[in-house]
């Protein structure tokens, strides 16, 4: 047992590296998005840079979660890391927005294995009384990434090129592979896998049709056009078929029976709203800083950085609270912090002091750290070992689904707002390409001062409406956590003959 405990620290180091690998990808790209859009002249496709990654991650997360229950955590984790590293390398060499979107999809497949299996391994190796602290450590890596990612991303964009932001994933990924390959040992009896391919197919095609409709409607096609109506109808039919398939499948992609557990139901609902807020902030705060305030990529990283410190603190506090007093208290405090933070963001304008945004990031970091840590612990502690991978994957799946739908909807809303604005200001010679130019520090200098003012005001109005929508969604998330249990989670099947060990 002592030897096991000695080796667990190396496994934990590998897991924290893998978490950083995935987490930094979400934060390092945010300051680079305006430069990518400016280089490829494709502002209308910006949301797909995020959506392709999130969609493939959403689809593959439950599949890999099930495979980890069937074949063990270790091989699935290693496969995910390799795919993520490969996708990152390809992204760095992308020759256009379409290629970048395709390579981001490969990254998403890898992340679909790495993220849920990381949390599941922690649930396997640590008992309930230890899990809150360790999950807090894992979750705090997201906070560290939110500090390092924007700063590093901003520096690389301003000094070299946005392409370098994908290369930083490679060394962390290789180290994670090394630690897990050497120190995690599993003794499991393999059994035949029954993957819900029908569910995966209907969900993937249905969600892709929905995202295409959301991103194309009002832009490349009218909302009442046969194309958009057909996409929406097809998405509705396929997603309805997906739900029907999941109810009958022997090994469902999304185990709907988990929703019979009260805490999992409400945690899942809240996770969708919180994740929607997270993707909205990390995607559009850099646009606010660089497009409305005229700041640099480095400045956007600096103003976002304070969220990392409070995220770490919130993770530890949330983990300890849920172990002692149940999920409700920590979740409510976390969501209240998120509501307060995003409410403050909605009050910002271009004349607001630069000190206000970092303070709001501190508040938001506490909320994200507390709530997301609690959601993960509840998902794991509500089931036994045989379902822990599926339950963790379900939690990650729904969080990713929230981000996928959020980034598509926010992108559609902002594109429509900017399109209406450019049409209104067409008499002043303003076009959609001017918006692309505004988002790059180099090309912004070529625009006349009066045009920069008009474009910044246009972008400010569109982003402000997005922040209001985020506030409404976060308030719904707060309502979702109110019914959570006040009792500490009870351990269920904490150890079994199939539980993995550190080698």
State pLDDT tens for residues 182-202.
Answer: 888 766 545 555 677 888 788
Q: What is the mean pLDDT of residues 9-35?
A: 75
More confident residue, 432 or 398: 398
User: With 80 as the cut, is the pLDDT of residue 80 above it?
Assistant: yes
Higher pLDDT, 186 or 2: 186
Q: What is the pLDDT of residues 345-404, one digit of tens each?
A: 999 888 888 789 889 999 998 999 888 888 888 887 777 766 776 677 677 778 877 887
Q: Give the per-residue pLDDT at 412.
A: 79
Residue given tokens 């000190």 in the structure block: 355
Please state, as a whole number, how many other Cβ atoms lie within 10 Å of the Cβ of residue 256.
13
Q: What is the pLDDT of residue 397?
A: 75
φ, ψ (nearest 5 deg) of residue 326? 90, 175
The answer to which of 144-158, 410-424, 436-450 has the lowest mean pLDDT is 436-450
Under DSSP, is residue 502 helix (H, G, I), strand (E, B) or coil? strand
Sign of the C-alpha dihedral computed for residues 315, 139, 46 and 452 taken in this order: positive
Closest to 421 (Cα-Cα) out of 40, 45, 43: 43
Residue the block writes with tokens 């002692």: 324
Q: What is the pLDDT, as a whole number, of residue 120?
A: 75
Greatest mean pLDDT among 66-70, 123-127, 346-350, 410-414 lies in: 346-350
Q: Please report the sign of the dihedral spanned by the C-alpha atoms of residue 256, residue 383, residue 130, residue 495.
A: negative
Q: What is the crossing angle of helices 73-92 and 169-183, to 10°?
A: 160
Query: Residue 34 above 90 pLDDT?
Result: no
Confidence at 344, pLDDT banded by 50, 70, 90: very high
Contact predicate 235/206, CB 8 Å: yes
Residue range 481-503: mean pLDDT, rounded: 58
pLDDT at 219 over 70: no
| Confidence check: pLDDT of 480 > 50 | yes
- With pLDDT > 90 as the criterion, what percentage of the chain qualifies? 12
Q: How confident is the model at residue 255 (pLDDT cuts 50, 70, 90)?
A: confident
Q: Quickly list DSSP for 164-229.
A: HHHHTHHHHHHHHHHHHHHHEE-----------HHHHHHHHHHHHHHHHHHHHBTTTB-TTSHHHH
The CA distance from 35 to 266, in Å, is 39
Distance, in Å, from the CA atom of 98 to the CA atom of 120, rounded to the nearest integer, reads 34
Residue 435 has pLDDT above 80, yes or no: no
**Across residues 415-443, what is the average pLDDT?**
66
SS3 501: strand
Spatial CA neighbour of 150 closest among 273, 37, 23: 23
Average pLDDT over the chain reads: 78
The lowest-confidence range among 70-74, 155-159, 384-388 is: 384-388
Mean per-residue pLDDT, 215-235: 79
Q: Which two tokens stand for residue 447?
A: 């625009």
Task: Answer for the pair 372, 274: CB distance below 8 angstroms, yes or no.
Answer: yes
In this prediction, residue 502 carries a pLDDT of 47
Judged against a pLDDT cut of 60, whether residue 497 lies above it is answered with: no
Is the pLDDT reported for residue 299 higher than 70? yes
pLDDT band (50, 70, 90) for residue 477: very high
């Amino acid at each position: 047992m002592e030897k096991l405990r000695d080796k667990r620290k190396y496994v934990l180091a590998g897991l924290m590296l893998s978490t950083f690998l995935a987490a930094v990808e979400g934060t390092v790209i945010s300051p680079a998005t305006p430069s990518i859009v400016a280089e490829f002249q494709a502002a209308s496709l910006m949301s797909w840079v995020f959506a392709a990654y999130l969609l493939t991650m959403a689809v593959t997360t439950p599949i890999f979660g099930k495979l980890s229950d069937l074949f063990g955590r270790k091989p699935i984790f290693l496969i995910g890391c390799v795919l993520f590293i490969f996708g990152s390398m390809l992204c760095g060499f992308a020759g256009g927005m379409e290629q970048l979107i395709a390579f981001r999809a490969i990254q998403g497949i890898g992340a679909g294995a790495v993220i849920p299996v990381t949390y599941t391994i922690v649930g396997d190796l640590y008992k309930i009384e230890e899990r809150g602290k360790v999950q807090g450590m894992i979750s705090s890596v997201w906070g560290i990434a939110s500090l390092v990612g924007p700063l590093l991303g901003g520096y690389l964009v301003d000094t070299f090129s946005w392409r370098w932001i994908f290369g930083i994933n490679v060394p962390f990924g290789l180290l994670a592979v090394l630690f897990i390959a050497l120190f995690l040992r599993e003794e499991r009896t393999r059994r035949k896998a029954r993957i819900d391919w029908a569910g995966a197919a209907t969900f993937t095609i249905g969600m892709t049709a929905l995202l295409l409709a959301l991103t194309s409607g009002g832009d490349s096609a009218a909302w009442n056009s046969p194309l958009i109506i057909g996409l929406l109808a097809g998405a509705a039919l396929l997603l309805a078929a997906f739900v029907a398939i999941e109810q009958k499948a022997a090994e469902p992609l999304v185990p709907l029976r988990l929703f019979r557990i009260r805490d999992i139901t409400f945690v899942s609902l809240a996770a969708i709203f919180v994740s929607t807020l997270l993707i909205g902030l990390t995607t559009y705060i850099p646009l606010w800083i660089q497009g409305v305030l005229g700041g640099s990529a480095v400045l956007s990283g600096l103003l976002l950085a304070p969220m990392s410190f409070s995220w770490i603190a919130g993770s530890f506090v949330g983990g300890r609270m849920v172990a002692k007093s149940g999920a409700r208290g920590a979740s409510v405090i976390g969501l209240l912090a998120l509501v307060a933070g995003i409410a403050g963001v909605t009050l910002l304008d271009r004349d607001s002091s630069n000190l206000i945004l970092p303070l709001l990031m501190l508040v938001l970091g506490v909320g994200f750290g507390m709530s997301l840590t609690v959601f993960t612990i509840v998902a794991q502690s509500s089931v036994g070992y045989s379902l822990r991978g599926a339950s963790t994957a379900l939690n990650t799946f729904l969080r990713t689904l929230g981000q996928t739908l959020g980034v598509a909807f926010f992108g559609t809303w902002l594109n429509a707002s900017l399109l209406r604005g450019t049409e209104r200001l067409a008499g002043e010679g303003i076009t959609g390409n001017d918006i692309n130019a505004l988002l790059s520090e180099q090309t912004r200098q070529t625009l006349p001062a009066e045009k920069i003012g008009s474009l910044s005001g246009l972008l400010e109005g569109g982003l402000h409406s997005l922040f209001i929508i985020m506030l409404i969604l976060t308030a719904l998330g707060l309502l979702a956590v109110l019914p959570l249990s006040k009792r500490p989670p009870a351990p269920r099947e904490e150890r079994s003959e199939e539980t993995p060990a550190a080698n």
